[in-house]
Structure 1
Amino acid sequence: MAREDEYERFDREIEAMGVRIKDADSVKVRDDVFDEVTLIALYKLVHKRLISAIGGPISTGKEANVFYGERDEDEIAIKIYRIQTANFKAMTEYLAGDRRFSSVRGTRKGIIFAWTKKEYSNLARAYEVGIPVPEPLAFDRNILLMRFLGEDELPYPQLRNAEIEDYGAVYRQILDYIERLYRDARLVHADLSEYNILYHEKPYLIDMGQAVTLDHPRAPAFLIRDIKNLNRYFSRYCDILDEQEIISAITGTEYREPSRPGEGMQS
């Protein structure tokens, strides 16, 4: 009963800001998501007229929940990093070598706020050079707003669940994205897999929070891991290219098998 009362209070507070609650039953996944810090961030985004409706969850996880939302006539995705359960220690591996976030405080909230800003920045860099990613719209504290990738309030399927006619063509498209991400956006995705790629007529890269700049000490190892993951998945469906040739073509450097973390390429 107390939990129901809390949900009703949440609904009243959100609706008092002029935000419609769509699909109220499914929004009850919000338990442990909409804490005080998150509500403050939500208030700020609503007052900026960036959110007009909140719907049900698109995806749920230990690190973050993504909700369907609307901004007037536009469909948006509302990604909320979970302050209490997100693995902020793992996040520090990606933040530590990134000069953009070298001054981040080591508190749980500080790291998660920086991670949210980092994903917004990474998406912006990728989007600006024409790589298909969710268009970043705004962020505040642990909330990131993006353009929704889907139709009729349903997200595009993950690559692993998509109906694909020509796997070879999709494989080559993603390799092109990786190269453009590296050369034009100066980023390595660092967690590329069939779970972090959506597909609808073409592939879209998502979940860019862990992406690192090329001067990150582990960028070469992350790039190699991305290529290995891509080849692992597509080898079931089509001919794949040699990992060494792919990495050498992308980076313009000689590839060698890493003997310990952080190694992998040499000029």
Structure 2
Amino acid sequence: MDPKVSRADRDLRKMLSEKRIKSVEDRSVGSEIFDQQTLKTLYKMANSGYLNILNGAISTGKEANVLKGIHEDGHFLAVKIYRINTSDFKKMQYYIQGDPRFKVRTTHKRQLVYAWVNKEYRNLKRSLEAGIVVPKPIISQNNVLIMEFIGDDDGNPAPILRNKAPENPEKAFESVVTSMKKLYHEAKLVHGDLSGFNILNNNEEMVIIDMSQSVVVDHPISRELLERDIDNIILDFKKFGVSASHEEVKQKILG
């Protein structure tokens, strides 16, 4: 056994031991996501000064877990870890094929996941540069993405829109539609999975998240995805009392 790898694993496991995770469910998830390669990746990130402590779960998805990280200067981070074994590779292939930015052997599962994570990093960066409110991406490496933490100073994450109705639904709706328009015309992207589950209500500011599946506007499926995003947003905001037609929203976005 390589002694350097062994020492790195011990150091990282010591860092990970500071997580305040107490439930059986969280412990089982932890053992699932912290495989050998992920441990090495996290160790390199920690050793490079990007991360100091992992401190519990923010959210758990089908393919990835988002954990709360703490930088050495004390500010919070969001650490998204994609699970290699449980990722939906067919879905990843569907979204990544046809994107000219990525040339990857889609039969190689680990390579595909790494490209998927890098895709989310680049989509977030592109969106941020276009003036869209998204978490600032900090670094992407292998199956780990470190981003800006969206929440309060005490480390409480902002709730998703589905769980926190906006005080002014009309204003929130217009904000989301404006973000979709900027995304399309300035970032040249379509989100592809936009709904109340992928929007945070951060003190009434609508923050777009989960952009791994987002595609460039000249991608063969971009228009199909845009139509679906519009339907999802209309349906979600209808629950808050906002009424809008598909054609009306589409016209606002496409101009």
Conserved 8 A contact 2:81-2:143: yes
RMSD over aligned CA atoms reads 2.0
Report the alpha carbon displacement of residue 214 of structure 1 after superposing the two structures with TM.
0.5
TM, length-normalised to structure 1: 0.85
Cα distance, 1:59 vs structure 2: 0.9
Deviates more, 1:19-28 or 1:186-195: 19-28
Deviation at 1:150, TM superposition (A): 1.0
Runs of 5+ consecutive residues of structure 1 not aligned to the other structure: 1-8, 253-267
User: Quick one: which of 207, 212, 215 aligns to 1:212?
Assistant: 215
Match of 1:40 in 2: 40
1:237 to 236, 240, 244: 240
| Mapped contact 1:58–1:66 kept (Cα < 8 A) | yes
Amino acid aligned to 1:13: D
Aligned to 2:112: 111
Select the residue among 163, 179, 182 that pairs with 1:180. 182
Q: Greater CA deviation, 86-95 or 99-108?
A: 99-108
- Go from structure 1 to structure 2 and tell me whether the alpha carbon gap of 1:162 and 1:176 turns closer, same or farther (over 3 Å shift): same
Give a deviation string over 1:7-30, Cα, whole Å, max 9, x none. xx99843155x6772314356231
The structure-2 alpha-carbon separation of the partners of 1:163 and 1:211, relative to structure 1 and needing over 3 Å to count, comes to same
Distance 1:222 1:105 in 2: 21
Instruction: Indicate the percent of aligned positions where both proteins have the same amino acid.
Output: 39
* Residues 9 and 40, structure 2, Cα contact 8 Å, conserved in 1: no
TM-score, with structure 2 as normaliser = 0.89
Mapping 1:155-174, distance limit 5 Å = 155-174=157-176
The separation in 2 between residues aligned to 1:66 and 1:25, in whole angstroms, is 17
Q: Does 1:221 align with 2:194?
A: no
Asked whether the equivalents of residues 169 and 242 of structure 2 are also in contact (C-alpha less than 8 Å), the reply is no
Give me the whole-angstrom Cα distance separating, in 2, the residues matched to 1:241 and 1:62: 31
Give the SS at the match of 2:213. Answer: coil
SS of the aligned residue for 1:185 comes to coil
Matched pairs, number: 243
One-letter identity of the residue aligned with 2:79: I
The alpha carbon displacement at 1:105 in A equals 4.3
Contact 2:104 2:112 in 1 (8 A): no
Structure 2: unaligned runs, 5 residues or longer: 1-6
Give CA deviations for 1:123-142 in whole Å, capped at 9, x if unaligned: 00011122111110001100
Is 1:202 paired with 2:199? no
Distance 1:245 1:25 in 2: 48
Secondary structure of residue in 2 paired with 1:246: helix
